[in-house]
Amino acid sequence: MSGTKIFVLQMKQIRKILLIAAAALAVLLIVFFLFGGRSEPARPTMPQPPAPHQQPAPRGMGAQIGATTARYVPGTYYSEIVLSNSTILVSVEVNESSITSVSISEPYEAQEVFYPLMQPTMENIARQIVQTQSLDVQTSSDTPYTQEILISAIRNALEAARVR
């Protein structure tokens, strides 16, 4: 009978060890799934341009566009700016003969946090472009790179809007 008591005592210890091992394994799996297993962070979704005839032109295109030489197909045209893992959508609205508005289409919270100069710079550039109907805007020495990126995106959208 003393052999049976030793066996019952050993079985309790084995159960405790198995229970502790199972709990440790569960914790490791939870930590792995929470902090590992992803190769890249999730990207925020951006609105898609509404119509196929209003897609942005390929990058790198764009002679200077002025009100005297340009005629446009009326509508709203989009151009993307890709910075790190985020995409900023620039929209340019035109009628047959002029640029009516330029803006960042549906800015999102992360953009305002990571690129705080983007929106105020766009407002300044947009005001000048709509007034002069030209991409020859007065640039500021405070944000030269931001202005260059925005003007390039606007140029791409205007190239897509031009009558061919």
Q: Is position 46 within any domain?
A: no
Which segments within 2-161 are labelled E, that is strand?
75-83, 86-94, 99-104
Q: What pTM did the predictor assign?
A: 0.57
Residues 8 and 61 in one domain: no
Q: Is position 45 within any domain?
A: no
- pLDDT bracket for residue 38 (50, 70, 90): low
For the chain, the farthest-separated pair of C-alpha atoms sits apart, in whole angstroms, at 108
Tell me the C-alpha distance between 83 and 116, whole Å. Answer: 13
Q: What pLDDT is attached to residue 115?
A: 83
Domain residues for 5?
A: 1-39
Residues 35 and 60 in one domain: no
- Angle, CA of 115, 153 and 79, to the nearest 5°: 95
Q: pLDDT tens-digit profile of 92-102?
A: 999 988 999 99
pLDDT at 22 over 90: yes
Residues 98 and 145 in one domain: yes
